[in-house]
A and B are shown apart, each in its own frame.
Chain A
Amino acid sequence: MNINDTLDVKREIKRYGFSKPYWDATRQKKLVIQYCRASGKYQHFPRPVSIFTGKRRDLEWREVSGKGEVFSYTVTHRGTAAFRGHEPYLVVCVTLDVGVNHIANMVKCDGDEIRVGMKVAPYWLPLEDGTHLLMFQPDR
């Protein structure tokens, strides 16, 4: 099955203030994830407090590789308004090496190749404002 990489879809992203460090880091194609010093664990999506302790002061941002493996995936045959006409495309949920799940699109991968457990690496899609959108590609 041919899968659309959706690279030319215009993305509207409404960002919350407390996730700013994530987006700032993507300008250099770097992935930073929130880390809780008290529990020694990572969390994603970004929160205003640690989901492990409930405290803001326990959080810091740490750069991570962005490598991981596919936790699950879905082939979208009926897309959202912005993606209409670009189906089918892949949405994957990836467990990063640091133990968080990150939802994104999968590119450079066809429908016969995708599977749960597949190793993936980051792919950065440039956005108009100079930040990048994290996507994944097979880590071949």
Chain B
Amino acid sequence: MSLRDSAIVAYAETKVMEKSDRDVWELGGEILESLLDKTGLEKREIDGLVMAGLSSTGAGNVFWAQTTADVLGLEVDFCEQVHTGGCSAAGCVARAAAAIDAGLCTTALLLFADTGVAEHNTRDRSYRSEWTEPYGLMGPPGAFGLLSRRYEAQYGLDYEMLAKLAVTQRAHAVLNENACEKLRKPITIADYMNSRMIADPIRLLDCVMPCDGAAGLIMMSRKRAKEKGLSKCVIPIGYGERTNYRAGESVVDVTRTGHEAAGRKALVQAGITLKDVASFHPYDDFIIAIMLQFENLGFCEHGQGCQFIRDNDFSYRGNLPLNTGGGQISAGQAACSSHNLIEAVRQLMGEGGARQVKNTANALVTGIGWINYARNWGTSAALVLVPEL
């Protein structure tokens, strides 16, 4: 009995939209239909609903998962909403696996649906209203401005290396038909360097563009997947999550993140090392977050991120394929930040099309959730996936 006894048997996603003209539940319904078609399951066989709470449309509704079950006509034994911000998608996989393992449900629909651009219902309750908004600190870009400047003071920062990541991801988005159409244009190093400052040193092309869309997965036990003849599946074999890294310290080194702990846990559980990672699908809300994950997961030493970027090829044909769907920064941030996870599943199922990676031995997916005060971020997650053998 463990995480790896569960299987992801199908994925679905809508195209990323600048602004949806359809209701968030219509998008959810589209995902449900697509997943039923792909698996041949009957709706009544779904007895678990696990929803990412990172839905700007849904989050104002404290009954989000329940009302969604009602709207979609789902009768379930396990109804769950996962609130780890940008870690919610990976967190949904871990929690669904745990629920299946514990016998709480047998077949789970994981649903990531958000139309936050068209309909934003969140209401913040945090330190912000008292301790950062009175100073005009602009949410995540402001926080990453502070984080980047500190990194630069500690280690130095070659912005052209961050540009390399931006250019690579953009090239992947061009190959991804589901990426936001507005972003499917190649960019150059110069485009990145010359993009206007938002929260210096954070530039426009460092930032994600919030978009609308939905995605979903079906999970069940491997045994049940076999019985159902669902042979093409993806297995979660390692997961780690850490919220409030170094919470009991007043001043922390902001270049050290919870991925130090979450990554180690996920890799040990998976029984692989970073040298074994076949493709990497890190959470990307700002370009520098990718570099910080290289360092904190242990791909390279702290402070060596730029050198690591210089030394590696992150294209889908390269030695370490990175966010092969374009990442959120180039495909658009949508569907509760689940697209990097969906892309990893797609690649492991060999359905990457024009951007298919050669090595599908595994994929490492991560999450970053929420921004805390004068630190880096609230939750870090790491998930190792492998194709069914």
Contacts and interface: CB of A to CB of B under 8 A. Distances in A.
B327 to A, nearest CB: 22
Given A14-B130, A16-B130, A19-B130, A72 B250 contact: no
A104 B150 contact: no
A79 B138 contact: yes
Given A71-B150, A74-B146, A116-B153, A99 B135 contact: no
A4 to B, nearest CB: 10
Nearest to B137: A91
Contacts of A71: 150, 251, 374
Interface residues of A, number: 45
A117 B153 contact: yes
A9 interface: yes
Interface in A16-58: 16, 19, 41-45, 51-52
Contacts, number: 117
Interface in A71-99: 71-80, 82-83, 86, 88-89, 91, 93, 95, 99
A113 B201 CA distance: 16
Given A6-B136, A45-B130, A72 B149 contact: yes
B353 interface: no
A100 B250 contact: yes
B198 A78 contact: yes
B contact face: mostly helix, strand, loop, or mixed: mixed
B145 A79 contact: no
Contact of B197 (A9, A75, A133, A135): A75
Contacts of B251: 71, 95, 99-101
A140 interface: no
CB-based closest 3 A-B pairs: A74-B145, A83-B136, A116-B153
10 contacts: A9-B136, A12-B134, A74-B146, A76-B142, A77-B199, A78-B198, A82-B136, A91-B137, A103-B135, A116-B149
Interface of A: 6, 9, 11-16, 19, 41-45, 51-52, 71-80, 82-83, 86, 88-89, 91, 93, 95, 99-105, 116-117, 133, 135
Interface of B: 127, 129-139, 141-142, 145-150, 153, 196-202, 247-251, 254, 373-374
